[in-house]
Chains A and B, each alone.
Chain A
Amino acid sequence: MPADRPQRKTFPWIRAFIGTAVVGALIVVGAQIFEQQLHPVKPGGTPPPRVPNADFPTDTFDGKDVTQPINYSHKLHAGDLGINCLYCHTYARRSKVAGIPPTAKCMGCHTVVGTEKPEIQKLTAMWSKGQSPAWKKVNDVPDFVHFSHERHLQRFLLNNKDMNIKDSPDVCAMCHGDMNTVGVAKKMKPLTMGFCVTCHEKNKGPADCTRCHK
């Protein structure tokens, strides 16, 4: 039986090309979106930091706003009034956790200062009832990460040649960003492992996993 002669087929270059282009485009866009999830950066970027090291070691990170039981403003206390971080977060010097200042410390001033403000009155009410506010954790790392504030403060306060560090806030800013610019605290650095490792490699921090993961 004579086979019918087919017309010659040529390879569909056009279609192949378009297909590839579409797939490639999808991949690129997807990667972009994923990256956005990883490090969301506010369009227009964050305002230029006033505190040194606020943009070190990686770019800033725009965490979501957290509503706290008391609308505490870091901008006011640390920024405008210029209170040192370690005045309130005093545990950071001596312990692995920086901790939240005990209510007594707040009341130290606020029995006389700003008593007319509603937020302060909220605090005073709690204090008199003997409760402590249920703060939300903002700079939170997974529980298998064991970070020591004490070690890091010591390292960078005592041994900071040509690092542009004058005072403890400059050290805090390395991981917490420029808290002078925000009201209620928000996460201003990614605090991912990459973030930590980058700094560790730059500053010869320990490269041993079990320093942080136990």
Chain B
Amino acid sequence: MPSLLGNVFKGWSDYSKGIEQGGNQKYEHMFSMSIDLDKCTGCNACSTACYAENNLAWVGEYKFASRQSMHWMRIERYFDEPDVGSSDPESLDRGASFLPMMCQQCNAAPCEPVCPVAATYHTVDALNAQVYNRCIGSRYCANNCPFRVRYFNFYDNAPTAWPAPMDQGLNPDLSVRSKGVMEKCTFCIQRIRGANETAKREGRELKDGDIVTACQQTCPTSAIVFGDLLDKTSEISKIWKRQQVKLGTYKQEKENKDLRGYRIFEELNIEPKVLYLERVREV
């Protein structure tokens, strides 16, 4: 057996270098997402699409009440600061702001170094991958995630979530997670791999628009854009450029202060790869 010891110290750390090391130079792709909060109506379509695409188990009222739910993509609803909702103490005078929150696929992800068995690690296409069958459920990663977007299979959800014949509707492209395993948004990795296969089959390079995540596909207002940051011509990299948001820093210096792009918790130096565009307010 060649190189049993080959990857003792390499592999896990290659693709998750922090900013101090100047980031990683070896990525093949760098998949990223941008969400325009001004277009997001909070309609839940993306969230439900995620349930359908990624075999997410519904857990029922009791487990939801104990916060053991499994929604990879959740739509949070906030009323505006500071006066929570309006200048008028009597009532709101403008709408809420909705925030679709899913795994931010950080380039310096805090969840990766702490996993004892390297079940979560950074792939060559800059994805924050989660290997279900390697996970032993120490749940350290979830503790270390500032976004609280890692969901743990506290129970064996499959029998209750997919009573026959519902299991016939499971997506065979990715596995159903068992009890005691951590899971999270994967940027629809099965679609990414599928698009790769198709591209290989047709003997061409992956091009912008080949990969469409389930949430992006269904978003009725097209608030979600997904693509490869290394491909300079792709829509997503244009958006990052236009918003003057840079990777590899935890403090954005924009010459144009009016631009809307920002990354949540980037000051923690974890390099989130989801770019949010601020909601616009008439005042």
Contacts and interface: CB of A to CB of B under 8 A. Distances in A.
Verify whether A and B have any Cβ pair under 8 Å.
yes
Given A143-B175, A150-B201, A210 B1 contact: no
A154 B197 CA distance: 11
B174 A214 contact: yes
Interface string A44-76: 000000000000000000000000000000000
Nearest to A97: B172
Given A148-B197, A150-B201, A214-B173, A209 B6 contact: no
B169 interface: no
Contact of A211 (B7, B133, B186, B193): B193
Given A144-B133, A210-B129, A198 B193 contact: no
Nearest to A194: B1
Interface string B123-161: 110010101111000000000000000000000000000
A201 interface: yes
A194 B1 CA distance: 9
B3 interface: yes
Query: In the complex, which of the residues B1, B11, B176 has the most CB atoms of chain A within 10 Å of its own CB atom?
Result: B1
Contact of A209 (B3, B131, B173): B131
A96 B176 CA distance: 18
Contacts of B197: 96, 148, 150-151
A198 B2 contact: yes
B136 to A, nearest CB: 14
A201 B193 contact: no
A201 B2 contact: yes
A143 B176 CA distance: 8
Given A207-B7, A208-B123, A209-B121, A214 B189 contact: yes
B241 interface: no
Chain B's interface: helix, strand, loop or mixed, by majority? loop
A117 interface: no
A146 interface: yes
Nearest to B174: A214
Nearest to B131: A209
Nearest to B188: A214
A207 B12 CA distance: 11
B131 A210 contact: yes
Contacts of B124: 208
Interface in A162-214: 194, 198, 201-202, 207-211, 213-214
B129 A144 contact: no
Given A144-B132, A148-B197, A151-B197, A207 B175 contact: no
B44 interface: no
Contact of A144 (B1, B175, B200): B175
A142 interface: yes
A207 B131 CA distance: 13
A142 B133 contact: yes
Given A142-B133, A143-B176, A148-B197, A210 B189 contact: yes
Contacts of B176: 143
A210 B127 contact: yes
B190 interface: yes
A144 B55 CA distance: 13
Interface of A: 96, 142-144, 146, 148, 150-151, 154, 194, 198, 201-202, 207-211, 213-214
30 contacts: A96-B197, A142-B133, A143-B175, A143-B176, A144-B175, A146-B174, A146-B175, A146-B193, A148-B197, A150-B197, A194-B1, A198-B1, A198-B2, A201-B2, A201-B6, A202-B2, A207-B7, A207-B11, A208-B124, A209-B129, A209-B131, A210-B131, A210-B186, A210-B189, A210-B193, A213-B133, A213-B134, A214-B175, A214-B186, A214-B189
5 closest A-B pairs by CB: A144-B175, A214-B174, A144-B133, A210-B129, A209-B131
Given A144-B133, A148-B197, A198-B1, 9 more contacts: A143-B175, A150-B201, A151-B197, A154-B200, A194-B1, A201-B2, A201-B6, A207-B11, A210-B186
